[in-house]
Amino acid sequence: MPARPGAVRDMKTGAVTDEFDAAAPSYDRLVAANPGYHRHLRMSARRLRLPRGGEGLRVLDLGCGTGASTAALARELPRAEIIGVDASAGMLAAARAKRWPDRVRFVHARAEDLTLAHLGGPVDAVLAAYLLRNCPDPDRALAVMRSLLRPGGRVALHEYSVADSAAARAVWTAVCWSVVIPAGRALTGRADLYRYLWRSVLEFDGAAALRERMRAAGLDLVRTLPLTGWQRGITHTFLGRVPEAPGPAGEHA
């Protein structure tokens, strides 16, 4: 049954992290049933193309949830320092309960409120997997990401975007109502979060609009890369970079 008009906005302005708190104990089981979920996160982590396994670099996993995207970063960047941040205490508790190397740590904060002080200084890259669509003010969240990155720092948004394609919208609706919503209800006893997921993806930016939003936030080298499987055309990696600091006067790269 379609969500009532305005339900997505209402959810984002308050209830989304409460719903994630409630979903936290079953979240890992649910995503394990989604073929490609972890592989695709690793693909987006690799697409940051950080050198030397991330040696000497600091990477932010914004909206880290129960740590699936953190694990993808930890595997693809075996030498990076990784900081996972999430607004849901329940999701973060599930992440913290797992075993992590010393170079991984977690911070409880809303993306919109995150400061350099939370992180102990700037970062070299941000992965935000399935976060931006959930933020009440995506432009603010992107501005925060940019403010936390060093010049030349990289961004990978791993996100659903179907608005540009009728075929993608139809596949997404079919998958949600035949699999995601029934499975979510079976595992958690409630379906609100999964109906919200369906509706919020339909209402979120198309790929061209999201690239434009990233450019407006001051990122350059913005592009979209596809993912594989049933998610092709539905889930994507959006890449961008904070422009390099200008060199001394008269010097051009």
64 binds ligand SAM (CB under 6 A): yes
User: Within 13 Å, how many C-alpha atoms sit on residue 93's CB side?
Assistant: 10
- In angstroms, the CA 124 to CA 148 distance is 9
The residue range among 47-55, 127-135, 176-184, 201-209 that interacts with ligand SAM, by the rule CB under 6 A, is 127-135
201 binds ligand SAM (CB under 6 A): no
219 binds ligand SAM (CB under 6 A): no
Positions in 73-92 near ligand SAM (CB under 6 A): 86-88, 91
Q: Is 59 left (phi over 0), alpha (psi -120 to 50) or beta?
A: beta
The residue range among 51-59, 62-70, 143-151, 178-186 that interacts with ligand SAM, by the rule CB under 6 A, is 62-70
Q: Name which position in 46, 108, 110, 185 contacts ligand SAM (CB under 6 A).
A: 110
Give the helix ranges, DSSP H, for 12-154.
Answer: 16-32, 37-46, 68-76, 89-96, 116-119, 138-148
CA distances from 172 to 3, 65, 177, 184, 251 (A): 15, 22, 9, 15, 49
Within 8 A by CB and 6+ apart from 173, the residues are 198, 202
- What are residue 106's DSSP bridge partners? 84
181 binds ligand SAM (CB under 6 A): no
Binding mask 19-48 for ligand SAM (x = CB under 6 A): -x--------------------x-------
Backbone angles phi, psi at 72, to 5 degrees: -65, -45
Residues 52/74, Cβ–Cβ less than 8 Å: no
94 binds ligand SAM (CB under 6 A): no
Q: Which residue is nearest to ligand SAM (CB)?
A: 65
134 binds ligand SAM (CB under 6 A): yes
Within 8 A by CB and 6+ apart from 104, the residues are 70, 74, 81, 82, 83, 84
Positions in 2-21 near ligand SAM (CB under 6 A): 16-17, 20
125 binds ligand SAM (CB under 6 A): no
Q: Name which position in 69, 200, 235, 237 contacts ligand SAM (CB under 6 A).
A: 69
Q: Which CB sits closer to ligand SAM, 16 or 149?
A: 16
The residue range among 116-124, 126-134, 181-189, 230-238 that interacts with ligand SAM, by the rule CB under 6 A, is 126-134
Token pair for residue 20? 């994630």
Q: Which CB sits closer to ligand SAM, 134 or 161?
A: 134
> Whose CA is closest to 142, among 242, 227, 237?
242
State the residues that interact with ligand SAM by CB under 6 A: 16-17, 20, 41, 63-65, 68-69, 86-88, 91, 110-112, 129-131, 134-135
